Amino acid sequence: MPVIIWINGGFGAGKTTLAQELHRRLPDAVVYNPEDVGLMLWKWLPPHGDFQHLPSWRELVVATALSLRRHHADTLIVRMSLIRDAYRDQILGGLADAGEQVLHVFLEVDAGVLRERLNARVTDPKYTDWDQGARELGMTGVDEMVAAAARQPTGTLLLRSDRLTPAELADDVLAVASRTRRYLVSRPDRHRHLPRA
């Protein structure tokens, strides 16, 4: 069944790890990181602040996801924090309005665990682009990211990534995706509900 699995959550919540585990199990899926769209825009525009504020970024994220899903894979795995409600609604609503089935997953993590994970990235060699400045940027949004879990649209699959292993998280995501025929996180007035795992 064609589906877009959107993995949301704060910096350090485990989005990349879950995406990798899902891709290991679904090798024909395409893993899409919308951050690459932002980096592309910064090649043409003066880099300034968060590229999520750019209307072009949000439009291109939707257009790229639609093209990848329709032309290259039945399953698209997307990992990207969408903490601002309006941006999340615009992007996920745009996908749903285009007829795509979207399984929106939000990884919940306690603030203390997020801070520990972000601190550990500074010395972890696998995070070559994660320096003190990136850590400080991530730290400033921890409380906002934790609070965002309570504001997710109806039907969002909320999972505790500080209590479940990546394999358990993937099990839950795939179980819900396999039994869901039609799931849309769309405009606030047009929700279709996702069966709970």
CATH number at residue 50: 3.40.50.300
Give the other-Cβ count within 10 Å of 158's Cβ. Answer: 16
> How does the average pLDDT of the chain come out, rounded?
83
pLDDT in tens, 170-184: 999 999 998 864 443
Instruction: Flag whether 83 is in a domain.
Output: yes
pLDDT of residue 123: 60
193 belongs to a structural domain: no
Question: Residue 165: which of 105, 112, 118, 107 has the closest Cα?
Answer: 107
Smallest CA-to-CA distance from 3 within 30, 25, 34 is with 30
pLDDT tens-digit readout, 61-73: 999 999 999 999 9
For the record, the structure tokens of 119 come out as 């601190």
pLDDT band, very low/low/confident/very high, at 144 (cuts 50, 70, 90): confident
Question: Does 184 reside within a domain?
Answer: no
| Both tokens assigned to 113 | 């665990």
Residue 185 falls inside a structural domain: no
Q: What is the pLDDT of residues 1-57, one digit of tens each?
A: 679 999 999 888 899 999 999 999 999 999 999 999 999 998 999 877 788 999 999
**pLDDT given at position 194:** 40
What's the domain range around 150? 3-179
State the SS3 of the chain: CCEEEEEEECCCCCHHHHHHHHHHHCCCCEEECCHHHHHHHHHHCCCCCCHHHCHHHHHHHHHHHHHHHHHHCCEEEEECCCCCHHHHHHHHHHHHHCCCCEEEEEEECCHHHHHHHHHHHCCCCCCCCCCHHHHHHHHHCHHHHHHHHHHCCCCCEEEECCCCCHHHHHHHHHHHHHHCCCCCCCCCCCCCCCCCC
Would you say residue 91 has pLDDT above 90? yes
Q: Report d(CA 15, CA 8) in Å as an integer.
A: 7
Q: Is 57 inside a domain boundary?
A: yes
**Is the pTM for the entire model greater than 0.85?**
no
The answer as to whether 63 is a domain residue is: yes
- Count how many domains the chain has: 1
In-domain check, residue 189: no
Residue with tokens 């025929």: 181
Q: Give the pLDDT score at 90.
A: 97
Residue 104 resides in a domain: yes
